[in-house]
Structure 1
Amino acid sequence: MLRSVLTVGGWTMASRVLGFARDMLVASRLGAGPVADAFFVALKLPNLFRRLFGEGAFNAAFVPSFAGTLVRDSRAAAQELAERMGALLGLWLGMLTVLGLIFMPQVLTVLAPGFRADPAKFALAVDLTRITMGYLPLICLTALVSGVLNGLDRFAAAAAAPVFFNLLLMAALVSLGPYVATPGHALAWGVLASGFVQLAMVWMAARQAGMALNLFRAPALTPPVMQVLRRMAPGLLGAGVTQINLAVDVIIASLLPSGAVSYLYYADRVAQLPLGVVGAALGTAMLPVLSRQLRAGQSLSAHRSMNRGTELALLLTLPSAVGLAAAAGPIVAALFQRGAFSAEAAAASSAALVAYAFGLPAFVLVKVFAPGFFARGDTATPVKIGLVAVALNLALNLLFMPWLAHVGVALATACAAWVNAGMLAWMLMRRRHFVVDRRARRVVPRILAASLAMGAVVAGLAWLLPPAQGSAGRMVRAALLIGAGAAAYLASGVATRAFSPREVLGMLRRRGRGRVVPPG
C-alpha cells in the first residue's frame, strides 16, 4: 500500500512540477495575447469532455466493477468487461470527435462567442480545436486502461502518463515552432501526439501485466457493461454541473478584451496547486471512511470524521488562500513574467489569482461535505445544490463583468463556490448528519487568526522588499515571501494554539492510511 502511494505521489509531483515548467515556457513564447487565448480554448474543449466521460465518474464506476469481476469471476471475464467498455467508449467519443470536427465553428460560437468579433482569432481557435479534438478519444481510452492497471495493482504507468503530456507539449513548442503557422499550432499538435503516447504507454503496461486489451472489439451492452453505465449516471450528473460552470467561465471570458482567457488560465494554474493536492486528497479519503462508519452504524465516528476533515481542510487552505492573495503579484511574476509575458499581463493574472484565492477554501470544503451525502447514497442533493451554484455563477458573471472584467469571472466562480459549500454544510447540519463539535469551534477561529497574521507578515514584507530585477530576482523575492509566510504561519499557529506540528503530522499520517482521526 505504502509503495503504491509513494509511486503515484512521486509521479504526480513530477507531473505538477513539469506542468509549471510547461506553463512558464508557454507564457514566455505566447504571452497573453490572441494566440494564447485561442490555444487555451482549444485545450479546454477536449478537457471538458475528458473530465466528464474519461475520468471521475467513469473510474468510480468502472474500477470497482472490474476489480470485482476479476476476483469473483475470472481474469478473462474482467478483460472482456474492459474491452466491451473500451469499444463502447471509443465508439461514442469517436462519433463525438467527428461531429466536433465538422461543426467546430458552431461549437466555438457557443463556447467562445466573443471570439467572433475578431475573425482571425476565431479562425485560429477553430483550427487549433480541430487538432486537439483528436486528443479526446485517446485520453479517455487512456483513462480506461489506467483503470485496468489500477485494478491489477499496477500504478506506475498510469501515474507516469501525464508526465509525457507536459514533456511533449514543451518539445513541440520548441521543435515545431519554426515549421507551423503559430506557436499555438505547435502546442496543439503536441497535445494530439501526447494522446497517442499516453495510450500506447498504458496499453503496453497492461500487456506486460498479462492483459493485452483489444480496444477494437465490437461494443455490446452486456449485463456487466450496463451495471457500469448505471453506476456512472449519478457521477456524470455531478461532473456535468462542474463542467457547465467551467464552460460558463470560458463563454464570459471570451466576451472580454484579448488576453482575458489567458489571464484566467495562468491564475487558475497557480490556484490549482493547493486545490489539486489538498482537495483531491481529502475528497478521496473522506468517502470510504464515512461509508464504512455509516455501514457499521458508527454515527458519532462519522461526525468526528466530518469535523476533522473540515478542520484539516481549513488548516491547509486558509493559509494558502491568504498567502496567495498577499503575494499574488510576486508569485505570478516569478513564474511567468519573461519573454512575451509582460509585466502588465502578470499584473492582470495576479489580480485574478487574488479572486480565485478567496474561493480556495470553499472549493476544498465542497470536497469534504459532498461525501457526507454520497456515503448515504444521496447523489441528488449535491447535484441540485450544484445547479444553484451554476445559476449563481452565471448571474454574478454578468453582474461583475462590466465592472471588474476578467477578475469578475474569477470572483463570480469563488462566490459560487462559497454558496455551494455553505448550502452543502447547511443541508448536512439540518439533517443532523454534521454537527460542529467543541474542538472545531475552538480550533477553526484560531486557524483563521493565524492565517491572517501570516498574511500581514507577507504583505508587509512584500511592501518593504525592493522591486526585483530580472527573472532570477523575481524568483528570489517570491521564495523569500513564501518562506517567510510558512514560518509566520507556523509561529502564529503554535502561539494561538491552533495546532501543534506533532498533531498535524499525526492527522496527515492517519488520514493517509484512511483511518479516523480521533478528537483531540
Structure 2
Amino acid sequence: MSLVRKFATVAGATLGSRVFGFARETFMAAALGTGPMADVFYAAFRFPNLFRRLFAEGAFNAAFVPLFSKEIEANGVEGAKRFSEEVFGVLFSALLLITIVMELMMPWLVEWIIAPGFADDAEKTAITVRMAAVMFPYLMCMSLTAMMSGMLNSLHHFFAAAIAPVFLNVVMIAALFYGLWIKADPLTIAWYLSWSVLVAGVLQLAVVYVGVRYAGINIGFKRPRMTANVKRLLVLAVPAAVTGGITQINQIIGQAIASGKEGAIAALQYADRIYQLPLGVVGVAVGVVLLPELARALKGGHAREAANIQNRSIEFVLFLTLPAAAGLWILSDAIIRVLYERGAFAAENTAVVASILAIYGLGLPGFVLIKALQPGFYAREDTRTPMRFTMISVVINSGLAISLFPLIAERGIATAEASAGWVNTVLLFSTLVWRGDLVWEWALAKRTALLLVATGIMAGALLYALPYAQPWLVPQAALVQQIAALACLLALAMVVYFASAFLIGGADIGMIKRNMKRKPKTTSDPTE
C-alpha cells in the first residue's frame, strides 16, 4: 500500500471520528452552553485526557513503534509477540498503580492543578473532583489501546486503530441525547457524560484487541519484568511522553489560567473541537503512518527513501493545512454560529468562541507540522531532542498565557498556544536540516511559496463571497439554509484553492498519482 493510500486510510477513519465529535459538541453546546456544568465537565475530563496523551499516544507512538518494528525485522512476528507481552505486563501494572495514586490525590489535584479558579466555589470543586475520579480509569483503557494501536500500525493494519476513537463520540452522543430527551438538568447530563467516557474506554480497548487478534498476535498477561527491551522502551518513552503531550500540556496550563473566568474553559474547548478536525485528519494520519514507515526504511538501510518519505509528508501537510488555516480565520464566525448557536449557546458565546477559533487557525499548520517532523527524531530513537523543544514551547506558552489573559481573556490563551506551537515547529525543522536528517529541497520550498499564493487567492474569493452568503447564515435563517450556505462557501474555497494550486504549480497531479501507486522500498513485511 502506498504512502498516500495509507494517509487516506487513517485520515478517512479519523474524519469519521471527528464528524461524530462535531455532533457531540453540538449536543453539548445545546445542553450545557458555556455554563458552570460545561466548565466542570471539561475541567474534569481534561486531566485523564492529559495523561492519555502523556503516557499513551505520545510515549507509544514515539518509543514502542520503532522497537516493535525492529523486533519484526529481526525476529519476526513471534519475537514481536514476546516483546509486546513483556511491555503489556509492565504497562498494566504501572497504570494500575498510577490510577490508584491519582484517585487518592484527586481533591488536591483539582484544587491546585486542574481548576484552581474553582477554589471560591466549594460545590463546583467537589463535583469536579467526583467527575474526575469517575473518568480517570479511562487512562488505563486508552494506554493499553495505544499500545495495541502501535502494534497494528507497525503491522500495516491501520483501520481498527484509527476507527476506535469513534466509539468515544458515539457513546457520549448517546448519553447527551438521552439527557436531552428526558429533559435532565445540566448536572445530571454532566454525570451521564462522565460515566459514558469510562464505558467508551472499555469499548475502544475491545476494538483494538480484536484487531490485534485478527492481525495474528494473541497477547497474554505475563508477570511484569524489567527486561532489556522494556528498559530501552522506558528510556525512550519518558521524554517521548512529555513531547507527545505538548498540546495537552499547553491546554491544561491554559485551562488552569482560564478557570478564573466563568465560561472560559468551555469556550476554549468548543473552539478546540473545530480545529481538531483538520489537525486530527491530517496530523494524526501523518503521525500514525510516517513513524513506522520511517523506522522500517531506516532499519532497512534506505536513507534516501526515508528522506523522500519525510519531505513528501511535509508537502502533504502544507498542501492541506494552509487553506484550512485561512478558512478557519475567515469563516470562524459562520462556522461557530451554524454548529453551536442554539439552545443554551447564545450569540455572545459565538463571538467569543469564533475569535478563539480564528487564532487557533493561524497555529494549525504549525501544530500539524509537529506531527510530521517529530517522527524524524523518533524513528532514529532520539526522543530527548523533541522533549527539550517541547519544554521550551511550554515555557513560552505559560509566559504568554499569563501575560495575555488579563488583557484579551480567552484569546490570550489561544494566542499563547499557537505561538508555542510555531516555535516548536521551527526548532524541530531547523534541527533536522542541521543534522542532515531532513534533506533541503528547493523544489519543496518553491511549491510551498506557490501554495501560499493559492491560499491567498482562495482567501480573496471567500472574502468576496461571504457578504452574499450572510443573509442565509444569520440565526433567524433555518438550520438547513445555514448549513447549505456554509457548505457552499466551503465548496467554493476548495474549488478555488485546488484549481489555483494545480494551475500555478503548487501541487502536481502527476506526482500525487505516482505516490498513490508507489510502494516503499523497504524490506518485506512478514505479516503480509
Q: Is TM (by shorter chain) over 0.5?
A: yes
CA 1:63–1:450: 2 relative to 1, 3 Å: closer
**Matched AA of 2:126:** A
The question of whether the paired residues in 1 share the 8 Å contact of 2:12 and 2:281 is answered with no
User: Which of 86, 89, 99 is equivalent to 1:87?
Assistant: 89
Counterpart in the other structure of 2:339: 335
Counterpart in the other structure of 2:364: 360
The C-alpha deviation readout for 1:447-500, integer Å capped at 9, x for no partner, is: 212212211221232223233313222212211211111122133334544334
The C-alpha deviation readout for 1:390-418, integer Å capped at 9, x for no partner, is: 11111111121111110111111111112
1:411 aligns with 2:411: no
**Matched AA of 1:353:** L
- Whole-angstrom distance in 2 between the partners of 1:441 and 1:206: 40
The question of whether the paired residues in 1 share the 8 Å contact of 2:326 and 2:459 is answered with yes
User: Which of 191, 195, 201 is equivalent to 2:197?
Assistant: 191
Cα drift, residue 442 of structure 1: 2.8
Secondary structure of 1:219's aligned partner: coil
**Matched AA of 1:474:** Q
The C-alpha deviation readout for 1:28-63, integer Å capped at 9, x for no partner, is: 111111111111122111111111222232244445
1:119 aligns with 2:122: yes
**Matched AA of 2:15:** M
1:23 aligns with 2:31: no
**Matched AA of 2:188:** T
**Matched AA of 1:266:** Y
| Higher deviation after alignment, 298-307 or 402-411 | 298-307
**Matched AA of 1:331:** I
CA 1:430–1:358: 2 relative to 1, 3 Å: same
Secondary structure of 1:487's aligned partner: helix
**Which has the higher relative contact order, 1 or 2, with Cα contacts under 8 A spaced 6 or more apart?**
2
Cα drift, residue 422 of structure 1: 1.9
Equivalences, count: 512
Counterpart in the other structure of 1:253: 258
- Whole-angstrom distance in 1 between the partners of 2:170 and 2:216: 28
Equivalence map 1:116-515=2 (5 Å)? 116-148=119-151, 157-175=160-178, 181-204=187-210, 213-215=219-221, 217-255=222-260, 257-287=261-291, 307-431=311-435, 433-434=437-438, 436-467=440-471, 468=473, 469-500=477-508, 502-503=509-510, 505-506=512-513, 509=516, 513-514=519-520
Cα drift, residue 379 of structure 1: 3.3
The C-alpha deviation readout for 1:184-233, integer Å capped at 9, x for no partner, is: 11100111111223334444555677765444x53222344334333424
**Matched AA of 1:163:** V
The question of whether the paired residues in 1 share the 8 Å contact of 2:20 and 2:170 is answered with yes
**Matched AA of 2:197:** V
CA 1:304–1:199: 2 relative to 1, 3 Å: closer
User: Which of 36, 47, 53 is equivalent to 1:51?
Assistant: 53
Cα drift, residue 424 of structure 1: 2.6
The CA RMSD over aligned residues, in Å, is 3.3
CA 1:515–1:33: 2 relative to 1, 3 Å: farther
Cα drift, residue 348 of structure 1: 1.2
CA 1:367–1:27: 2 relative to 1, 3 Å: same
- Whole-angstrom distance in 1 between the partners of 2:291 and 2:30: 41
- Whole-angstrom distance in 1 between the partners of 2:341 and 2:298: 50
TM-score, scaled to structure 1: 0.87
CA 1:390–1:231: 2 relative to 1, 3 Å: closer
The question of whether the paired residues in 2 share the 8 Å contact of 1:330 and 1:477 is answered with no
Where in structure 2 are there 5+ consecutive unaligned residues?
523-528
**Matched AA of 1:357:** G
**Matched AA of 2:506:** A
The question of whether the paired residues in 1 share the 8 Å contact of 2:154 and 2:292 is answered with no
The question of whether the paired residues in 2 share the 8 Å contact of 1:289 and 1:515 is answered with no
The C-alpha deviation readout for 1:65-101, integer Å capped at 9, x for no partner, is: 5566578668777555444433322222222222222
Secondary structure of 1:466's aligned partner: helix
The question of whether the paired residues in 2 share the 8 Å contact of 1:39 and 1:125 is answered with yes
The question of whether the paired residues in 2 share the 8 Å contact of 1:267 and 1:349 is answered with yes
The question of whether the paired residues in 1 share the 8 Å contact of 2:332 and 2:358 is answered with yes
The question of whether the paired residues in 1 share the 8 Å contact of 2:322 and 2:452 is answered with yes
- Whole-angstrom distance in 2 between the partners of 1:455 and 1:328: 13
Cα drift, residue 266 of structure 1: 1.3
**Matched AA of 1:476:** A
Secondary structure of 1:335's aligned partner: helix
The question of whether the paired residues in 1 share the 8 Å contact of 2:61 and 2:291 is answered with no
The question of whether the paired residues in 2 share the 8 Å contact of 1:132 and 1:188 is answered with yes
- Whole-angstrom distance in 1 between the partners of 2:120 and 2:77: 56
The question of whether the paired residues in 2 share the 8 Å contact of 1:285 and 1:514 is answered with no
**Matched AA of 1:25:** F
CA 1:65–1:351: 2 relative to 1, 3 Å: same
- Whole-angstrom distance in 1 between the partners of 2:72 and 2:376: 30
CA 1:249–1:220: 2 relative to 1, 3 Å: same
**Matched AA of 1:478:** L
Secondary structure of 2:124's aligned partner: helix
Cα drift, residue 367 of structure 1: 2.8
Cα drift, residue 421 of structure 1: 1.6
TM-score, scaled to structure 2: 0.85
- Whole-angstrom distance in 1 between the partners of 2:57 and 2:30: 31
Secondary structure of 1:175's aligned partner: helix
The C-alpha deviation readout for 1:326-378, integer Å capped at 9, x for no partner, is: 00111111222222222221221111000001111111222333344445554
